[in-house]
Structures are given as C-alpha cells and as structure tokens.
Chain A
Amino acid sequence: MKHLKWSVAAVALIGWGSLASATETLTMWYHGAGNEVESKIINQVIADFNASQTDYAVELQSFPQAAYNDSVTAGALAGNLPDILDVDGPNMPNWAWAGYMQPLAIDESKIANFLPGTKGMYNGKLYSIGLWDAAIALVTRQSTLDALSLRTPTLEQPWTAEEFEAALKAAKDSGKFKYALDLGMAWKGEWYPYAFSPFLQSFGGDIVDRSTYASAEGALNGEAAVAWGNWWQHLFTEGYAQADQDGADRDNGFGAGDYAFSWNGNWAALGALKAFDDTVFLPAPDFGNGPKIGAASWQFGVSAKSAHPEGAAKFIEFALQDKYLADFSNGIGLIPATPSAAAMVDNYKDGGPLSVFFGLSNAQGVLRPVTPGYVVQAKVFEKAANDIAHGADVAATLDAAVDEIDADIAKNNGYAAQ
C-alpha cells in the first residue's frame, strides 16, 4: 500500500511537471529601462497576459533606450534575439530586411482604427504595431500671438510659409525674446529627420525618392529641396534660431520666456502647459505641399528567430486593448493609438489639453521613408541639415548627401530582399 502511494505521488508529480512544461516562455526586449512609469505599465500588461492564459509566459528584459538598438543588433549577430521586441517605427524596415523580424500575424481588423503612424507596414506586410504615436507642434502662447498680432492657425487653415516668416520676424523685431524659434538643435540623432525632414517634404522634397527607394537624386537635391535648404539656412543667418543650442536651453528655454515659438513634441507639452496656462499647440506651417509632421514611434513586433511567433503575436494582440493604450498615454503622455482610447484619457479626450495632438498626428503625420536604407539616410540627412545650419553651401551639401545615400543603396544592392 505504501509503495502504491509513492507510485501515485510520483505519477502525479511527473504529470504536473509535464503540464507545467506546457507553458512556453516568451522572452521580450523593451527599450524603457530607467522609466519607472513605463516599466510599471509594461510589467502590468505582461502580468495580465500571463494570468489570462496558460500557454505562454512572457519574461521581460528592459534596456535603456540609448543602448537598445545596439543591443538588438548585437543580439541578432550572436543569434540571441528574444521572441518579442519593440522597435522604433522608422527602423523597422531595416530590421525586417536584415532578418531580425518577421511579419506580425494578428487580426488586422483589430487595428483598423489605429492611427496610421502606429502601423509598421513594409513590403505590403504588417511587421509591427504601436500602442501610441508621437506628434510635433509649434508651441507658443496665445498672449504671444495676440501681442504680435498674429492669426491663430488651425488644422484646417495652417500658416502659410509667408505667415510663418512674418511671425518669426515679428517675434524677433519685438525684442522680447532671445530667439524667435527654438528648433531643438541641442537634440541630435533621430530628432533631425523626425522633426526637420517634414519641412523638406512640405517644400516638395524628400530624403529619398519614395516611388522607387532606389535613389535620392531629385528628391534631396532638386529645386524643392534646395528651396528648403535655403529657407532652413536663413532661419539661422537671420537670427531667428540658433544653430548651436545648449541642452539646458532646450529643456528650459521656452518656459523661461527665451523663445516665442518652440518646435517640440507632445511629450514636452505638459511641461509647457505648466509653465504658461495660455500655451497653445499650433499645426506645422504649409510650405506649399501641405503641412507635415513626423509620425511613428515605438512599436511591438516578433523576432524572426522566435520559436513561438503565434504566442508572440497573441501577446501583442493582447496589449492592444484600449485600457493599456490609455494607461501608457496617462503614464508617459504619448498619443493613444485609437480614438476610443483617447476618449479614456483626460489629456486627449475631446477638449483635453493635448487633444490637438491626436488631430495633428492623424492629419499631418508622415512616415519617414519606409526603406531599410533609412537608418543610413537619417544620418546623412542629419549631417546635411546640420552643415547647412552652420553655413555650408546648400546645393553642394545636398548633392553630397545624395551621393552618399545613393552609394549606400548601391552598396546594399538596392536593399533587395535577402
């Protein structure tokens, strides 16, 4: 009898063990280390998912944002990628092309009402999806607009190039500000293509010819691009903006009243509202081809090496619930991906202090070039914009940038599928 009891216990243990091993572990990498609020929310999503079913258990590894892309690249080289990773929207095509990511198999009807900038499409397939988007606005004060006798632009009727020029001149001539415009020149890297290439696109140019993605010729050095370059340079030569900016001025300058206008993202909007209760967020000016701002922020996708892509997709689909979109927006201030989630967030619901950003993202958001070559093109554009801001010859700088981009495309065989 005693032996029988032990045998039953042993069988039960083995059975329990095999049941336990039926739960597959999904590893996930995320860029939010160091952000307490963001970490808390993503951990809550994971805890809820793990509790909601028994097939998969997600384990999170967070990285600091500045080290994240390098860590993913190193992980890919070492064959050590996780099942689920998050990716900055414009980098996704490169990671898909390089074989780091695979298409995301989720029910696309569930993302039909998501903001366009949150959908990571490449070669006609969905690779990633974002729970939020980010948007940029021209931040100023209503009292500044009134004092300078300027019309308040709207989404339907943004400022024209001439009106924007007049606004900058009026701000400069008023003598009340150190500079008329804070462009955020203290921020480097992705800020340049994200924040400044939409100006180029509004002029009619682009970083690369999007019809083929085979060359930047004509797009980045054509008439429209040169017109953009001249306009960009005049912002600094006229003294409207500073080409070299201290980080402290970027963080603190608008609140200190040093700038009449600040070109800044929705993540800084609450700080601006705190500084001045008459802060307003204006749409981008229209330089002839429609007002444009950058779109696409961080998104979730599935690693190409995942042994459980269906489980990874299941987790991502789970995370797309409005309540999590709202939690992220409440926590880190970014724009919820759906109107229904926006309605759950005080800042973004109709009449909320940041609701204007939802409209901006929807109406003006333009994806950065959706090509694997973007990661190089972004750096080339950054250098060209910075050089022009510091007085380099516009046409020659843009020609050199085109040569560099075209050489990279040629070197990578046109970024053809691998």
Chain B
Amino acid sequence: MAQISQDNRGLRLVVRYTVLCLIAAIFSFPLIFMVISSLKPSQQLLADAHSFRALLPVGDISLNNYFDAFKRAPVALFVFNSVLVTGVTVIASLAVCSAAAFAFAFVKWKGRDLALTVILATLIVPFETIAIPLLLEASKLPWIGLDGITWGWLNSYRVQIVPFIADGLTIYLFVQYFKDLPGELIEAARVEGASWFAIYRRVVMPLSGPVLATAAILKFLVMYNQYLWPIMVTQEEQYRPVMVGLQYFFQLNRAWGEIMAYLSLITVPVLAFYLYLQKAFIASIASTGVKG
C-alpha cells in the first residue's frame, strides 16, 4: 500500500514538472525566438519563421545584426535615456508615493478618505485623455537652469519624468500594504515619542521590501515602455527613449534581423531589473495578491 502511494506521488511529480516545463517553454519561446533570430540574416529569419528552426541557432549565424543596429540608430543613447528616465522616475515615485500612502494609512486628517478616493478614481482615466492638456501645460512651464529662467519643458528629461512620479496605482499598492502592517508597531513608536517622519523612515519603510519591489517593477515596466508621451515631447533625438528608437527599424523594407537584435538589447535592462527584485516581487504578490 505504501509502495503504491509512493509510486503515485512520483507520478504526480513527473506530471507536475512536465506541465510546468511546458508552461515555462511556452512563455520562454518568444524570448528564445527573439534572441536566436537576432543572430540570423533577415531572409533566413523569415524562411525559418514557420518551423522549429526558428528556435535553433542554425544556418548563417553572426552578430552582424547587432553591428547594423548600432549603425542604423544611436542604440546606446536610447538605452541610456530610457534607463535614466526610468531610474529617476522609479526612485522618485517610490519616495513620493510611499510618503503619500503613509499619510493615508496612518495619519488621521480631515478629507483623507475623500482625497484617497479621488486619487484612486484617476486609475480609470486613460493617459491618452490627458496627454494633450498635459502637453500644452508642459510646453509652457518655466524652468530655472544654467541659462536662467526658460519657458517650456519640451525636449528634456524632466518632461519625461515629472508627470509620472506620482500615480494612483503606486499609492494604492503602498496604502494596501501599510494597512496590513501591525498597528501596534506604529502605536509603540508614537508612545516612544517618534515623529511621523521617523516612523515612516525607521519603522515602516524597513518593513516594506516586498511592496517596494512590486511598485518598482510595475513602474519600471510602464516607464521603460513609454512611447506616446516621448514622441509628443521629444523632437530632439538626444532625449528619445528606446521605444521611439524601435521605430527607426520599421522602414519600407524591414530589417527583421536588426529589429530582433535591437529588441534583445533593450530587453536586457528589464530582465536584469526583474531578476534583481524577483524574490521580493514574488513575496509581495503572495502577500498582497497583486499581479503585475
């Protein structure tokens, strides 16, 4: 009887791992296809596309597409711009949104619930509906720099960063997470005479690793994939991000190999960032039920 039970368990494990491997394969196929295709000439890439050869590094394999991609567009500049804009926005967003969420979760003040409701309501407003008013506003804002006061934020990094620092989803994530923290910790700190800022910095934030990771990854993806807003506000090439750069490869005769090489290159920062925060992200999903 024990033997049968053990056999069943072994069989179940085999089935489970087979299913998991299949699912993993399905999800990894696009990435494998992208990387493998980036090594093939366009003609071969298209010819292989309808067979398993698409997933195998066979035929005329080289790094030529990568060299050609760098010739066609300033790839390094685009990646730098995106990483800079995304990095600064993520850091600023975590600071601003977590502080706002702290005020909503722990501090009692008049109009708190109404303010939170209004912020959450912004989640249902698509960006496209506010893009034009935002553009008109951004084109007239003042800025103090080395040249003194200038008007208009177009063609700058700040115009790609500032409008996206605060957002309803990130605040909501933090509020939900903070509400699950033990209230006794906050009360104890208050009894000890800690200020709200000290509680935020020394008590709450050190316990917020998972939600910080989740919010950072979600924000990173949104910012890294920005397309509409950058094409509206960056007429100068030196400020363009990777997704606008992708369009450089869509000519009448598309260079599919170069497109795959470019996609492989711009995927690296996203994968690296995700892998770095993977454990905390999964822990956060488990604790908050939020899925990216």
Contact = CB atoms under 8 A, between A and B. Distances in A.
Interface stretch (B10-18, B114-122, B132-140, B217-225): B132-140
Nearest to B137: A78
A318 interface: no
Contacts of B46: 248, 251-252
Interface string A11-41: 0000000000000000001000111100000
B47 A67 contact: no
A351 interface: no
B139 A80 contact: yes
B254 interface: yes
Interface majority SS (helix, strand, loop, mixed), chain B: helix
A267 B252 contact: yes
B43 interface: yes
Given A267-B252, A267-B253, A67 B247 contact: yes
Interface stretch (B57-65, B174-182, B230-238, B265-273): B230-238
Interface majority SS (helix, strand, loop, mixed), chain A: helix
A257 interface: no
Interface in B237-264: 237, 244-245, 247-254, 256
Given A77-B132, A80-B152, 10 more contacts: A66-B247, A67-B231, A70-B228, A78-B135, A78-B152, A248-B49, A248-B256, A251-B46, A252-B47, A268-B253
A78 B251 contact: no
Interface stretch (A43-51, A57-65, A390-398): A57-65
A74 interface: yes
B235 A34 contact: no
Interface of B: 43, 46-47, 49-50, 71-73, 132, 135-136, 138-139, 152, 154, 228, 231-233, 235-237, 244-245, 247-254, 256
A175 interface: no
A71 B136 contact: no
Given A62-B237, A67-B244, A252-B47, A74 B252 contact: no
A36 B71 contact: yes
A271 interface: yes
Contacts of A63: 235
A215 B252 CA distance: 33
A389 B245 CA distance: 34
B231 A61 contact: no
Contact of A79 (B43, B139, B228, B232): B139
Residue from A66, A67, A251 with most neighbouring chain B CB atoms (10 Å): A67
Contact of A29 (B232, B235, B251, B253): B235
Contacts of A271: 253
A329 to B, nearest CB: 14
Given A62-B237, A71-B235, A74-B231, A251 B254 contact: yes
Contacts of A70: 228, 231-232
A46 B72 CA distance: 20
B235 A61 contact: yes
B236 A34 contact: no
B248 A74 contact: no
Contacts of A99: none
Given A34-B73, A36-B72, A252-B46, A74 B249 contact: no
Residue from B46, B138, B244 with most neighbouring chain A CB atoms (10 Å): B46
A288 interface: no
Contacts of B136: 77-78
A252 B138 CA distance: 45
Given A67-B231, A70-B232, A252-B47, A34 B237 contact: no
11 contacts: A34-B72, A34-B247, A34-B251, A62-B237, A65-B251, A74-B231, A77-B136, A78-B233, A251-B253, A265-B252, A268-B252
Contact of A74 (B47, B135, B251, B254): B135
Contact of A78 (B47, B73, B154, B256): B154
Given A74-B231, A77-B135, A34 B47 contact: no
